[in-house]
């Protein structure tokens, strides 16, 4: 803002002032982290290692379809507010588009596009018959009442209804959305379909509406299986391993609790309000009960004997054996990577590590288990949920968990072997596995219109 002391408009000042503003905004734009560009960098490196031509995978550098919608919502105070939302259908080469819906004030088309691309690669790594997509709305959901959130979700569903469906595009929860959000989407979609019962249009819904047992814990459980397999490769086990977890939501909170029950020591955990650290380990039963008691219970206000409060980023650089970033993308930057002490990183979040940070971590000899493998437990059990919906036959929780273990451990082994074969990082090993599967399927389909 211009200084308030200016009484009359000084043209020279304002020209200089506006130029300065323009410069600052350009610098900001230039330096803004772009997860889609980050994804493309890794994709191109993987293709280079594989020795495939640019023509072979050109289609994978772009989304097949991008939709921007504007959703008018009647707010509780009577006025109408219009929200912007997106659905990016990145790839349908291996099956219907599949991917979550995010509600966040910073969500934009670039972020959703990157997330949709990662979903396409993730489903291919997991070996499940899906393509990839993602959705999002630019909104701070904490500022909305339940009624406003329901109207927003129903309006968004109406806007994307023509392009979703059990055999076309299947949404699921992501950051700030949950089984309740999926229930609203399902109900709206069924009403718009003339009252048909189509539970397979979304996954991650409540079990009462056809959700799968074990889906809520599946991403965290998958993180545990992948961490266990990685430790095994180094002759170690979960018991006694010191773990730091960034994010205490569906992925981070549940992963931390399951790891604790499996014998790990959770030495640090965080949410958007701060981190806590304890050398002897946090009592996860107490912490989980505190978080579950109210959505207002935040890490910054948590108290337990022996814990120290740190800033948000503090969790990333504590002396842990394994670090699990499970919050948002762009958490481990080049600067933070220099201070990471863990020997293994298991990416619970999508895109938590920038390409520049990856190079630093590799140089430091830190093993990074990439997002498209490490957090695939969620989409694997989403696939199981969809299969159960299509068959109208439901499995026990033990069966779901055991099939998850078999599928994710097999994906882990494939990626590990691929990384060994190409003498590369696990991230490139995972990308090579995915690109190979998608490109092969595309070639088999031939070159139609």
Active site residues per annotation: 134
Nearer to ligand NAD, 135 or 378 (CB): 378
The verdict on 438 binding ligand NAD (CB under 6 A) reads no
Q: How far is the CB of 293 from ligand NAD (least distance, A)?
A: 15
Q: Could you give the strand order of the β-sheet that contains 97-104, starting from the edge strand earlier in sequence?
A: 65-74, 80-91, 132-138, 97-104, 169-173
> Which positions from 119 to 148 touch ligand NAD by CB under 6 A, shown as an x/- string?
------------------------------
Q: What distance lies between CA 298 and its chain's CA centroid? A: 21
Residue 270 interacting with ligand NAD (CB under 6 A): yes
Which residue's Cβ has the minimum distance to ligand NAD?
249
Q: Can residue 249 be called a binding residue for ligand NAD (CB under 6 A)? A: yes
Q: Which of residues 312 and 336 has its CB atom nearest to ligand NAD in the complex?
A: 312
Site residues for ligand NAD, window 213-232 (CB under 6 A)? Answer: 219
The window from 10-18, 37-45, 59-67, 325-333 that contacts ligand NAD (CB under 6 A) reads 325-333
Taking CB under 6 A as the binding criterion, the range among 139-147, 264-272, 358-366, 409-417 that sits at the site for ligand NAD is 264-272
Q: Is residue 330 a contact point for ligand NAD (CB under 6 A)?
A: no
Please work out the total of residues on this chain that contact ligand NAD, with binding judged by CB under 6 A: 24
What whole-number distance in Å separates Cα of residue 215 and Cα of residue 202? 12
Which listed residue (38, 378, 437, 439) binds ligand NAD by CB under 6 A? 378
CA distance 283 to 188: 41
CA distance 56 to 306: 56
Q: Return d(Cα 86, Cα 310) in angstroms, integer.
A: 35
Among 138, 181, 250, 367, binds ligand NAD (CB under 6 A): 250
Here the tokens at position 129 are 């018959």
Among 247, 314, 370, 429, binds ligand NAD (CB under 6 A): 247
- Find the radius of gyration of the CA atoms of the chain: 22
Task: Tell me whether residue 164 is exposed, middle or buried, using C-beta atoms within 10 angstroms of its C-beta: 0 to 12, 13 to 18, 19 or more.
Answer: buried
d(CA 16, CA 21): 9
Q: Which of 213, 267, 328, 400 binds ligand NAD (CB under 6 A)?
A: 328
Among 445, 374, 385, smallest CA distance to 125 is for: 374
Q: Which of 71, 349, 400, 438 binds ligand NAD (CB under 6 A)?
A: 349
Q: Does 179 bind ligand NAD (CB under 6 A)?
A: no
Contact residue for ligand NAD among 179, 375, 401, 433 (CB under 6 A): 375
Q: Give CA–CA dist 445/291, Å, rounded.
A: 49
Footprint of ligand NAD on residues 50-89 (CB under 6 A)?
A: none
Residue 272 sits in the site that holds ligand NAD (CB under 6 A): yes
Q: Which residues bind ligand NAD (CB under 6 A)?
A: 173-176, 219, 246-252, 270-272, 312, 326-328, 348-350, 375, 378
């Amino acid at each position: 803002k211009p200084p308030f002391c200016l009484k009359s408009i000084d043209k020279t000042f304002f020209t200089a002032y506006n130029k300065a503003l323009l410069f600052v905004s350009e610098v900001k734009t230039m330096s803004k982290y772009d997860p889609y560009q980050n994804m493309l960098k890794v994709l191109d490196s993987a293709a280079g290692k594989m020795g495939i031509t640019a023509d072979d995978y050109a289609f994978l550098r772009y989304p097949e379809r991008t939709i921007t919608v504007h959703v008018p919502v009647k707010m509780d105070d009577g006025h109408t507010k219009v929200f912007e939302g997106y659905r990016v259908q990145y790839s349908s080469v291996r099956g219907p588009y599949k991917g979550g819906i995010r509600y966040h004030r910073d969500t934009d088309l670039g972020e959703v596009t990157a997330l949709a691309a990662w979903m396409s690669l993730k489903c291919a790594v997991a070996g499940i018959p899906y393509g990839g997509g993602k959705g999002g709305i630019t909104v701070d959901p904490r500022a909305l009442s339940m009624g406003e959130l329901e109207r927003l979700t129903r309006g968004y569903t109406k806007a994307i209804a023509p392009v979703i469906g059990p055999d076309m595009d299947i949404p699921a929860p992501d950051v700030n959305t949950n089984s309740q959000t999926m229930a609203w989407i399902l109900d709206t979609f069924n009403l718009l379909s003339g009252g048909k019962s189509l539970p397979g249009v979304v996954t991650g819904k409540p079990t009462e509406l056809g959700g799968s047992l074990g889906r809520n814990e599946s991403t965290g459980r998958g993180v545990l299986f992948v961490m266990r397999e990685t430790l095994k490769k180094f002759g170690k086990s979960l018991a006694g391993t010191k773990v730091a977890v960034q994010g205490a939501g569906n992925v981070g909170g549940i992963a931390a609790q399951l790891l604790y029950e499996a014998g790990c020591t959770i030495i640090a955990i965080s949410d958007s309000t701060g981190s806590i650290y304890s050398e002897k380990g946090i009592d996860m039963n107490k912490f989980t009960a505190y978080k579950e008691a109210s959505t207002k219970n935040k890490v910054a206000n948590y108290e337990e004997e022996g814990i120290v409060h740190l800033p948000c980023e503090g969790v990333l650089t504590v002396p842990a054996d394994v670090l699990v970033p499970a919050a948002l993308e762009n958490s481990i930057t080049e600067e933070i990577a220099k201070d990471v002490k863990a020997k293994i990183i298991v990416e619970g979040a999508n895109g938590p590590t920038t390409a520049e940070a990856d190079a630093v971590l590799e140089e430091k000899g830190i093993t990074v288990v990439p997002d498209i493998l490490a957090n695939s437990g969620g989409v694997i059990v989403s696939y199981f949920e969809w299969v159960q919906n299509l068959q109208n036959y439901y499995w026990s929780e033990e069966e779901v968990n055991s099939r998850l273990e078999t599928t994710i451990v097999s994906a882990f082994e494939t990626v590990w072997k691929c990384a060994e074969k190409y003498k590369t990082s696990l991230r490139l090993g995972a990308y090579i596995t995915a690109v190979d599967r998608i490109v092969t399927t595309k070639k088999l389909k031939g070159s139609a219109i």
